[in-house]
Structure 1
Amino acid sequence: MSTYSCDRGQAEAVKGKSVAHPGWTIAATMLASSLAFIDGSVTNVALPAIGKELGGDASSLPWVINSYLLPLSALLLLGGAAGDHFGRKRALILGIILFALASVGCAFAPDLTSLFLARAAQGVGAAILMPNSLGILGSSFEGEARGRAVGTWAAAGAIASAVGPPLGGWLVDSVGWRAIFYLNIPVATAAIIVAWHYVEESAQGRGRLDWMGALLATVTLGTLTRALTLWSSRHAASFDTWAGLGGGIMLLVLFLIVEHRLGDRAMMPLALFASRPFVGLTLLTLLLYGALGGLLVLLPYLLIVGGQYSPTQAGLALLPFSIVIGTVSRRAGRLAERIGPRWPLSIGPIVTGAGFALMVRADPNASYWTSILPGMAVVALGMAGAVAPLTTAVLSSVDDRHTGTASGFNSATARTGGLVATAIAGAAIAVPRADLTGAFQAAAIVAAVLAVAAGVIAFLTLAKSS
């Protein structure tokens, strides 16, 4: 939901030139990226309606989200490299077209399998358009103009993420869940028209693309996610679960071997991990965004199924989270510039963990203002203190050659955390309605532990002056 802050460093890391149509260029990138931001948050409130119409259960419903997150997580770096190689404008328009066509496929999906395939195509489109929307900003602006452009892009992402749940809930209530995918068509059409006419092409034409690394990353994440989903939905580890985990680990080792042999030509250069702060920031991102991703999937489900909220009400229940993030994160970023990211990245996740601990009091049948809002507000406050300093810390944790790749990898790690959390969330979705509140509260305890661990990792791995 707030991973836009992890992405903004990709644009800031690229040196560029002035642009003929600055306003239209920013508009094109904002329209394109809003597709991914809205779709990343709007689907959560539609899960119960989708499950009711298409017959989803605890082992299949998480894949409505994960079939989108999987290719987005695995292919984000490759999508950026493709833009560098073939041209960022071409890649941006291609990604938008693919996303729009996949959205039509989602809207017309007759069953869950068709929906999963269309959602996966959406994820591929998002993996292409997201890094290239930032790459275009980085190659089109310089100095303070670039900072303003990226800030505008990030603010638009925050707004899109905030609008997504209540708008999606209203559409589910008034039209039906398929309408949330029709919403993408006019936005995509406008983005294509503006990009085609006003965005200048920027192509590097450098190197070969790491297709093998991208394939192995996708298959590895898919195998591990499927195994975790099976385990969580059945509340037991079957032979399929162990086989999937074993196969996923073997594929991960193979992926690392391939990336090591490719060196700096790899999609994920292993030289990045020679930096202790970068390793710590990667673990922090995985744990913190994993905890957050689980909350954003389970809370709407709890409110709708356990508390009889309408999808609109459930979407509005999430709105305070985005409001706090949007108003506080910029101030936290300025504070981190003065004192360094170590303390914000240590305290922010710990405050987030305290918010998750408060969510143990969550009861969908009690007052929202006393049982849900306090914990959510504290979670949002802690996240707001962490998201902006995280970008600065990632960029400063590696040498100049790897800043763009490091920021892109951090963004992919954030989405992978959400991917894993959604897979495990099936354990709560699988319980009977009467037990759903208890399952959510148990998940909140796990999220609290993960968030606090993220803060401790930041304190131990970041230098005092970093």
Structure 2
Amino acid sequence: MALVRYGTATGRWVLLATVLGSSLAFIDATVVNIALPAIGRDLGADAAGLQWTVNGYGLSLAALVLLGGALGDRYGRRRIFQLGVAWFAASSLLCGLAPTTELLIVARVLQGMGGALLTPGALAILEASFVRQDRSRAIGAWSGLAGIGGALGPFLGGWLVQLGSWRLIFLINVPLALAVLAVTARHVPESRDTTVTGRGVDLAGVLTGAAGLGGLTYGFTAWPERGADSPVVLASLAVGIAGLIAFVLVERRVAHPMLPLDVFASRAFSAANVVTFLVYAANGGVFFLVVLNLQVVAGFPPLAAGIALLPVTVLMLLLSARAGMLAQRIGPRIPMTVGPLVCAAALAWLSAIGPGASYTVDVLPPVVLFGLGLAMLVAPLTATALGALGDTRAGIASGVNNAVARAAGLLSVAVLPLAAGIGGGSLTDPVALHPTYRTALLISAGLMVVGAAVAAVFVPRRLHEATPEAAGTPETPVRSFCDPAGPPRHPTPEHV
């Protein structure tokens, strides 16, 4: 099937399907938090049970998102995306009907698996469906629109819990997922990497990769609760490290690896993922600690603290597509360097929030600055990570980038408070939290600065400088692999 243009009817349907599908996963990453008290009362869950109601989802998502990208490349990105959406709907139904905390946690883990299938598929579909000159704009629009899902989580969760029951926050996913499946089946073109069709799944890579990411994520998540000397924490971290080492060894030797290590020969791809890790590690701590500090130290009500960062989402929605178009014209290096520096300045400013802070004077200005920095950064960063490997490896590129982002966010929530000196009990003590919150925000600002330095040195000025075979030229147009039944072909003039 020929590639589509941004702004056409087909392009709008493709964007709608990927945005709605991604929003399912984004909303469920945040919506559960506000329902935890109601879940605890209804199911009699203790603190550990509530913690793993949240973390079980993120753990399975981080551990398996790389597999989701590889499966999409191999068996069809639309097919795996649809499978992920259907899986997510079924597990959401199980969450909504769960009679015990234990079954709810299991269902949340299953939800994360569904999210791991659909999330990289959404980005890979965008990369493989749009003509190259429109991809940054499409990814920018996706970034802004899908980001609304995460921001709407607290509002939606509070409204549904107040309306009737916490179970509605899961059950509402079912009709939304059915709508996504209908739009996808009718309007989204299929695409895959024809060079891997018919090969078996790299089972050893799947198992070692999941063990590595899952072990590290579980270990660092359990660290604050159990302590650094806990046998469970030490064993989990050891399994994680051993799993990642084994994963690299397996992928070097297996005939058809899930993650061909030669993808990292692309300087643009490697640099984009290093920047992703640094930026999302900073973001993970920011979105957790700022809201916490506003409530515990500054005395904001929970709802006011929850909406304090809403301007970030609004700015992402308004500016991400424009940032993608700008990066298309001037190249990714400048926005990927300037964006993190703007974010770093905003985080240093946010670190000063203390007792008696005013939202309009002390919170809103740095939040707006932070949103501007992210809007400048995210679309070029994502477009670079996906575009560096070309059309045929869009699923691998998306899976790696998503795995890096998810793992960074999960690890930072556990590691950043520890690095800043925040103990388990001090999270609710304003006297203890205030100075360590400042330290944590400054560490996050430092991560942003390092990310900017990596981008300035290693991200190419123009993406085609690193991957001329992927970018195409007027003399040699971009080749498309979007038709799984036919050979690669050039786009027709009306689609370029």
In which range does the TM-score fall when normalised by the shorter chain? 0.7 to 0.9
| Letter matched to residue 231 of structure 1 | W
Specify the alignment match of 1:227 in structure 2: 219
**Structure 1 residue 267 displacement after superposition:** 2.0
Alignment pair present for 1:451 and 2:448: yes
Specify the alignment match of 2:354 in structure 1: 363
TM normalised by structure 2 equals: 0.78
Question: 8 Å contact 2:40–2:46 — kept in the other structure?
Answer: yes
**Structure 1 residue 354 displacement after superposition:** 1.8
Question: 8 Å contact 1:88–1:136 — kept in the other structure?
Answer: yes
Question: Structure 1 residues 45, 290: CA separation in 2 closer, same or farther (over 3 Å shift)?
Answer: farther
**Structure 1 residue 15 displacement after superposition:** 6.9
2: CA distance, partners of 1:121 / 1:113: 13
Alignment pair present for 1:216 and 2:208: yes
2: CA distance, partners of 1:247 / 1:157: 34
Specify the alignment match of 2:424 in structure 1: 430
Q: CA offsets per residue over residues 1-21 of structure 1, 9 Å max, x none?
A: xxxxxxxxxxxxx97479996
Aligned pairs for 1:165-204 (under 5 A) are 165-175=154-164, 177-196=166-185
**Equivalenced residues, count:** 451
Alignment pair present for 1:353 and 2:331: no
**Structure 1 residue 90 displacement after superposition:** 3.9
2:224 match: secondary structure: helix
**Structure 1 residue 403 displacement after superposition:** 4.9
Specify the alignment match of 1:267 in structure 2: 258
Alignment pair present for 1:37 and 2:26: yes
Aligned pairs for 1:62-461 (under 5 A) are 63-137=52-126, 142=131, 153-175=142-164, 177-196=166-185, 205-234=197-226, 236-262=228-254, 265-304=256-295, 309=300, 311-363=302-354, 366-395=357-386, 397-398=388-389, 402-424=393-415, 427=418, 428=422, 430-432=424-426, 433-434=428-429, 435-461=432-458
Task: From the CA coordinates, give the structure whose radius of gyration is larger.
Answer: 2
1: CA distance, partners of 2:434 / 2:168: 29
| Letter matched to residue 213 of structure 1 | G
Question: 8 Å contact 1:62–1:426 — kept in the other structure?
Answer: no
**Structure 1 residue 154 displacement after superposition:** 4.3
Question: 8 Å contact 2:4–2:11 — kept in the other structure?
Answer: no
Q: Whose helix proportion is higher, 1 or 2?
A: 1
2: CA distance, partners of 1:290 / 1:30: 23
Question: Structure 1 residues 16, 71: CA separation in 2 closer, same or farther (over 3 Å shift)?
Answer: farther
Moved more, 154-163 or 289-298: 154-163
Q: CA offsets per residue over residues 287-324 of structure 1, 9 Å max, x none?
A: 11011012223333444566665554333222111012
2: CA distance, partners of 1:430 / 1:49: 23
Question: Structure 1 residues 361, 212: CA separation in 2 closer, same or farther (over 3 Å shift)?
Answer: same
Specify the alignment match of 2:477 in structure 1: none
1:94 match: secondary structure: helix
| Unaligned segments of structure 2, at least 5 residues | 464-496
1: CA distance, partners of 2:96 / 2:260: 38
2: CA distance, partners of 1:179 / 1:366: 35
Question: Structure 1 residues 299, 55: CA separation in 2 closer, same or farther (over 3 Å shift)?
Answer: farther
2: CA distance, partners of 1:60 / 1:369: 37
| Letter matched to residue 399 of structure 2 | G
Q: CA offsets per residue over residues 22-76 of structure 1, 9 Å max, x none?
A: 665554433322211222343344456656775554x665544432222222322
Question: 8 Å contact 2:124–2:395 — kept in the other structure?
Answer: no
| Letter matched to residue 251 of structure 2 | E
Question: Structure 1 residues 156, 382: CA separation in 2 closer, same or farther (over 3 Å shift)?
Answer: closer
**Structure 1 residue 390 displacement after superposition:** 1.0
| Unaligned segments of structure 1, at least 5 residues | 1-13
Specify the alignment match of 2:473 in structure 1: none
Question: 8 Å contact 2:69–2:395 — kept in the other structure?
Answer: no
Specify the alignment match of 1:7 in structure 2: none
Question: 8 Å contact 1:170–1:311 — kept in the other structure?
Answer: no
Percentage of identical aligned residues: 40
Question: 8 Å contact 1:359–1:375 — kept in the other structure?
Answer: yes
Over aligned residue pairs, what C-alpha RMSD do you find?
3.5
**Structure 1 residue 77 displacement after superposition:** 3.3
Question: 8 Å contact 2:136–2:324 — kept in the other structure?
Answer: no
1: CA distance, partners of 2:56 / 2:436: 24
Q: CA offsets per residue over residues 232-270 of structure 1, 9 Å max, x none?
A: 33564444433332332111110101111136x322211
| Letter matched to residue 70 of structure 2 | A
**Structure 1 residue 124 displacement after superposition:** 0.9
Specify the alignment match of 1:10 in structure 2: none
